Amino acid sequence: MVIASMILGTIALVVFLILLLPLPLSVPLSGMMSILAIGVSASVGGLILGIIALIKSRPNKRIAVAGIIMCLLGLVVSGTGWFMIIGVGDGYDWDPSWSPDGTRIVFVSDRDGNSEIYVMDADGSKQQRLTDNPNDDWRTWPDSCSWSPDGTHIVFSSMRDGNWDIYVMDADGSNLQRLTDNPENDIYPSWSPDGTRIAFVSRRDGNSEIYIMNTDGTNQQRLTIHNDLDTHPSWSPDNSKIIFTTRRDGNGEIYMMDVDGSNLLNLTNNPADEKQPSWSPDGTRIVFVSDRDNEDEIYVMDADGSNQQRLTNNPTMGDREPSWSPDNSYVVFTSERKQDGWNARIYVMDADGSNLLRLTTRPVADEVTSSPY
């Protein structure tokens, strides 16, 4: 029994590594990965119990039996997590963002094997691929793929040259240009409402900070200076302020600052993790994600941080990456729900959380940002 416990634990770990290594990098790390991790932890625990039973002066069968049970449980649970990630569906749709005129949505999908940028009409129809590159073109949170205010260009992050940099292209996918060229990652671009600047996140100074640059890539300046992560910038409609996610208080919070990086203000002030803010086009409200009720859900608050309200109620895997429609009436977001096989899908709802509607139905992951056409 002692040897059986050790053998099962070793098998569980080997199986986990075999399954994990080919896992697509575009798969979001969500509750499904947590299930897989629990299974692996149980397998490791079984292996440890087997070792303990073996090294005792007199081999202990009870410890060995406990190790075998833990290993078997680990194999079952980790296998369940794997099939939830890979076996149930073919991919994900994530990170929606609406265009200024609300007629189209640009998004990222791995339906063709890797993350690429697509565009569709606001009702989910006429889905078209814009980029075609073997490396990932994607955004994992709001504003990583962002329309220019006039709808003629899209700025996005890509690894096509070996590390994450910021690129811009015409709205039809043509005329690709690289805006940043730094050995560290430059990600999450967000175009200013007046069309003159792009906020983005870079690790060029050792940790994730908010930067700003002209739309041609010149005049790159650092706005935040802190040892903890600052990310996911979103502009105020009047171009005077930027909201962003930060972990400078030990947990995720939504902060606001002036466009020069001054006058920092914590808007959420909650012990939970708050992230992925998006400012409403009329400047009065901010939609964001919080796990204060155990799962990631969409919340909304006034622009000064008051009147925080929950909009979604998805107890399965959570909702994330919200973005406003240009008329402030709707919020589009990513959701992983049981009825979709836990594949990430793009949903839209009224600004008060009612009238939920799924926009993408393909068994793949799509990340969305809408065009102003």
Amino acid 98: pLDDT: 83
**Per the CATH hierarchy, to which homologous superfamily does domain 93-358 belong?**
TolB, C-terminal domain (2.120.10.30)
In this predicted structure, what is the pLDDT of residue 364? 42
Q: Edge-to-edge, what's the strand order for the sheet holding 274-279? A: 274-279, 285-293, 295-302, 309-310
Q: How many C-beta neighbours within 10 Å does residue 353 have?
A: 17
Positions in the chain short of pLDDT 50: 2, 20-32, 57, 82-89, 139-143, 363-373
pLDDT the model gives residue 32: 47
- Whole-angstrom distance between the N-terminal and C-terminal Cα of the chain? 68
∠ at Cα 16 (12, 20), nearest 5°?
180
Tokens 């202990």 appear where?
60
Q: Where are the domains of the chain?
A: 2-87, 93-358
CA distance 87 to 346: 20
Residue of 228, 223, 231 lying closest to 201 (CA atoms):
231
- pLDDT given for residue 107 in this prediction: 84
Write phi, then psi, for 29 (nearest 5 degrees): -80, 100
What per-residue confidence (pLDDT) applies to 343? 81
Q: How many CB atoms lie within 10 A of CB 296?
A: 26
Q: Which of 250, 318, 251, 331 is nearest to 286 (CA)?
A: 331
Angle at 25 between CA 22 and CA 31, to 5 degrees: 95
**What pLDDT does 36 receive?**
52
Looking at residue 85, what is its pLDDT? 46
Strands 274-279 and 357-358: unpaired
pLDDT at residue 234, rounded to an integer: 97
pLDDT tens track for 119-165: 899 999 999 999 888 766 654 333 368 999 999 999 999 988 888 99
Which residues, 6 or more positions from 162, have their beta carbon under 8 angstroms from its beta carbon?
none
Non-local CB neighbours of 265 within 8 Å, separated by 6+ positions: 255, 256, 257, 305
pLDDT digits (tens, 9 = 90+) for 286-343: 999 999 988 999 999 999 999 999 999 988 778 999 999 999 999 999 998 877 766 8
